Structures are given as C-alpha cells and as structure tokens.
C-alpha cells in the first residue's frame, strides 16, 4: 500500500466524512486527512467538487471521488481486502436498499426533529420513529446489518446511532429506546463500541457542544 | 443461467423509474414477465414484495424482490454478466457514472418535476434551476465523458444513458405541454445533442412511452397539480 496517494478532505464532525474514515480504517488504507473550513472552502475543494462544493472528497492518485456512498463503493471496488459489500448480488442489492432507505427516509426526519419546532417538530419525531422502526426490520436479530461482521449498511448508517443520541439530548426528544426498538437500540450501542469504529468518532463532549450551539442558532429568536 | 431463471417486473407505464429497468433488461437481452400495476389499486403481490415503499418498479428474480430503480440496475449488471455492461470495470469510471446518475436522479429529476407541477413565477424559477443543474451536467460531461460527444450507438447504452433518458427522454412532449425549453440547446449543447441522439436508439425509443400517449398523461398530471384546493 506504500506509495498509494490517498487523501481525504473532510470536516471533523461530518457524519459523511466519518463513513469514509471508517471504510478506510477497516481496509487498512493509509491516507492524508485534510480538515476543510466549510465557511471558507479551499480552492482545492471547489476544484475537486464543483457540482456540490461539499466534503467528503476522496482523492486517489490525484483523481477526486465525491458523495460518500459513491466513495464507499469506490473504496470497495479498488481495495479488495476486507470487503464491505457482500459477494452475492442479491445481498448487495439488499445492502444498497437499506443504506438508501436510511439516507432518504430516516435522516431527513431526524434532521427535522433537530431543526424544527412545535407541531412540525412533533411530526418529524413521529416520522423519524416510524422510519427507524422500519430500518430495524432490516437488521432483525443479527448483530450487525452485515451479519456477524460489519458491512456496507453498518458503515453507511452507523453514524445515525450517535446522531440520534445527540438529537435526543439537544432537541429533547425521544427517538429510539430499548422498549420501542430493542434491536436497533442494541445495535446503536454495539456498533460505536467496536474499537476501529470508536477511534474515528469525535469526542462526545465536542459533538454535543457543537450541536448545542448549532441548535441554539437555529432556534434563536423563535417563540 | 437460463434454466429456472424467472424474472418478473412490476411497473407502471408512465413511470420513469420503471423505464430505467425496462431499458436495462432490454439492453441486456433478459426475458421477463411484465406486470402493469394500477397505482391507485396496488396488487397484493406488489405490497408483499415492497412492503417498505409499496412502489414500483420491483424486479422479482427467482422469487426474490429487488426494489429501488438504481439498486435494480446494479443488481441486473452484477447478475447477468454476459453481454453489454451497464457500468464499466474501472473503479474510477464506475464512481464517475454513479455520481452523475445520482446527480440526475436527485437534482435534475426534482428540478424537472417542479416545472411540471408549477406555473407563473414559481415555474420560471424552477426552470432556471433546471437549466443551472443541466449546466453542471454539461461541464461534467465535457470533463469526464468526452466520448458522449461522439456518435451515440446502442452498444454504449449503460446506466448513465438509461437514467438520463428516463428523465429527459420525453423532452419534446414536455416542451410541447409546458410551452418552454426543458433542455436549452444554446446553454447546454452537449446535453441536448447527447439526449437527442439517445432517444433515437431502439432500446430507448421502444421503452419510453410514445409521444401521443405521454402528452395527454402529462397534461392530466399537470392539471391535477395546478388545480386549486377545494374549499
């Protein structure tokens, strides 16, 4: 792996950058990390991602790959050790389905629970709970979405386990607990405790402070 | 692979998501049974196969359902390995295609849909938004897919071509119904010439609904969206 030029442009508390960090770590890929200032985006970032101007960007041999799920697939296509996606096409389709479901249905509702207020907030909380319950059905009785080992869905969706707790704390809502979603709740506790996973997650206090400040700015001046 | 290889596709004739899968099966030469779903009265089979979204398209292969059009396209490419490839082998090229497919699916489709649903100033703004997105696509094509300016042939119909035609392939009907240019050939000449060439290919022509069928449908859809809410 020496001489492989791999660079990751990210932001310290971006869950999308976290996904990529997890994948790189699991594959044992060495890389240079570049922290981007999202208020003052670097010319490099704008050049690498002109369409969205966002992180994460994976740069491999000078060529950029953007959009975190596209990056995960690229990593799996390029480095064959410790496969992230299963071999079987049907299992791959199931994995892609759940990753997409979480991004399309769970995340916006969870963001809504964080950013909205009053009736809209209540609606978002309910929607988040419903969709997280559906996500739980994709996990079932397995230890991880990938089975006995973590896989594509765990890496794509695992950040939600941390961010759900942040949202619950900061926005003072209840999204997932052992009573309503015992299986998902257990996975929310199990996944971030894995050493390779835990190492990449920013410290809880820092995340909490950052999100509290963000929440304050969003809700400032509202009744 | 031929023995016991039962493929069923649940779709609805106007759906661009269904068109993607139809095109992919055609390109790959895969035989299948088609089930037209009444979206106002979905079949128990559809609901059983897609309990999460209850939507079409659903591809059922040997009894196992695959949902979400882009997931289905990848499944088709990974399962039927003979014949044309929907995605290239090279990981970087695959990443480029997946990026632009997602861009089309999330950004361009939404912008186009907004134009269909609105009128007046809102529609004007939505049209501007679509043209901006198409300009991003134009730059992307120039940079990453210089080949698309070469003659377009059936052999080169892959995931990107399938998704772009599923969204923009009916541009003539859309322009006639909406009375505005969906793809501006002056602002985005490459996108325009590429799509115009693609819609003449058999795989695309035989998949997309005929103009005469699509226009009344689009008119109906638009009228439904623009109808003032009843008191």
pLDDT over 90 (residue A3): no
Confidence band, pLDDT 50/70/90 cuts, at residue A212: very high
Q: With beta carbons under 8 A apart, name residues in chain B contacting A137.
A: 52
For chain B, what percent of residues have pLDDT higher than 90? 87
Q: Which of A215-219, B5-9, B60-64, B129-133 has the weakest average pLDDT?
A: A215-219
Tell whether B7 lies on the interface with A, counting CB pairs under 8 A: no
Confidence band, pLDDT 50/70/90 cuts, at residue A222: low
pLDDT tens digits, A108-148: 999 999 999 999 999 999 999 999 999 999 999 999 999 99
Q: Judge residue B38's burial from the number of C-beta atoms within 10 Å of its C-beta, 0-12 exposed, 13-18 middle, 19 or more buried.
A: exposed
Nearest residue on chain A to B68, judged by CA atoms?
A: A97
pLDDT over 90 (residue B229): no
Which residue in the set B52, B64, B70 is minimally distant from A90, CB to CB?
Answer: B64
What ipTM does the predicted assembly reach? 0.94
Kindly list the domain boundaries of chain A, sorted by start residue: 6-78, 89-219
Between vectors from CA A197 to CA A191 and to CA A202, what angle results, nearest 5°? 110
Q: Give the Å distances, CA to CA, from A136 to A101, A140, B96.
A: 11, 6, 32
| Confidence (pTM) | 0.95
- Say what the pLDDT of residue A1 is: 44
Q: With beta carbons under 8 A apart, name residues in chain A contacting B66.
A: 90, 93, 97
- Say what the pLDDT of residue B2 is: 45
Q: Which of A21-35, B7-21, B80-94, B142-156 has the weakest average pLDDT?
A: B142-156
CATH code of the region A89-219:
1.20.1050.10
Superfamily of domain A6-78: Glutaredoxin (3.40.30.10)
Strands A57-60 and A63-66: antiparallel
- Say what the pLDDT of residue B147 is: 67
pLDDT over 60 (residue A17): yes
**Rounded mean pLDDT, B138-165:** 82
Q: Which residue is associated with the tokens 């609904």? A: B209
Tell whether A53 lies on the interface with B, counting CB pairs under 8 A: no
- Say what the pLDDT of residue B151 is: 60
pLDDT over 70 (residue A165): yes
Q: Decide if A67 and B136 are in contact by the 8 Å CB cutoff.
A: no
Confidence band, pLDDT 50/70/90 cuts, at residue B144: confident
């Amino acid at each position: 792996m020496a001489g492989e030029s791999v660079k990751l442009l990210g932001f310290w508390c971006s869950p999308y950058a976290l996904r990529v960090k997890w994948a790189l770590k699991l594959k044992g890929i060495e890389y240079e990390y570049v922290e981007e200032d999202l208020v003052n985006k670097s010319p490099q970032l704008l050049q690498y991602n002109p369409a969205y101007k966002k992180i994460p960007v994976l740069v491999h041999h000078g060529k950029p790959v953007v959009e975190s799920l596209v990056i995960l697939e690229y990593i799996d296509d390029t480095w064959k050790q410790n496969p992230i996606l299963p071999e079987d096409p049907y299992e791959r389709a199931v994995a892609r389905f759940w990753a997409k479901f979480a991004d399309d249905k769970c995340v916006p509702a969870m963001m809504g629970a964080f950013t909205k207020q009053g009736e809209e907030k209540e609606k978002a909380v309910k929607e988040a709970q419903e969709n997280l319950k559906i996500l739980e059905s994709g996990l079932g009785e397995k230890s991880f979405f990938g089975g006995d080992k973590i896989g594509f869905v765990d890496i794509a969706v695992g950040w939600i386990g941390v961010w759900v707790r942040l949202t619950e704390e900061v926005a003072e809502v209840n999204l997932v607990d052992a009573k309503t979603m015992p299986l998902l709740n257990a996975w929310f506790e199990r996944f971030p405790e894995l050493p390779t996973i835990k190492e990449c997650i920013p410290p809880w206090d820092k995340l909490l402070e950052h999100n509290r400040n963000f929440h304050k700015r969003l809700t400032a001046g509202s009744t | 692979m031929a023995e016991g290889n039962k493929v069923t596709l649940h779709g609805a004739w106007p759906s661009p998501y269904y068109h993607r899968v139809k095109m992919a099966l055609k390109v790959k030469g895969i035989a299948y049974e088609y089930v037209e779903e009444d979206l106002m009265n979905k079949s128990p089979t559809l609901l059983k196969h897609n309990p999460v979204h209850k939507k079409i398209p659903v591809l059922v292969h040997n009894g196992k359902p695959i949902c979400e059009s882009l997931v289905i396209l990848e499944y088709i490419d990974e399962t039927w390995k003979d014949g044309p490839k929907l995605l290239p082998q090279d990981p970087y090229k695959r990443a480029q295609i997946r990026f632009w497919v997602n861009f089309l699916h999330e950004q361009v489709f939404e912008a186009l849909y907004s134009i269909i649903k609105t009128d007046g100033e809102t529609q004007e703004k939505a049209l501007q938004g679509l043209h901006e997105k198409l300009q991003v696509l134009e730059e992307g094509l120039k940079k990453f897919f210089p080949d698309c300016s070469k003659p377009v042939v059936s052999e080169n119909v892959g995931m990107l071509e399938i998704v772009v035609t599923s969204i923009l392939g009916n541009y003539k009907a859309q322009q006639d119904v909406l009375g505005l240019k969906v793809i501006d050939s002056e602002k985005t000449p490459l996108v325009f010439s590429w799509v115009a060439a693609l819609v003449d290919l058999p795989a695309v022509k035989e998949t997309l609904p005929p103009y005469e069928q699509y226009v009344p449908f689009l008119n109906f859809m638009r009228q439904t969206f623009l109808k003032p809410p009843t008191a």
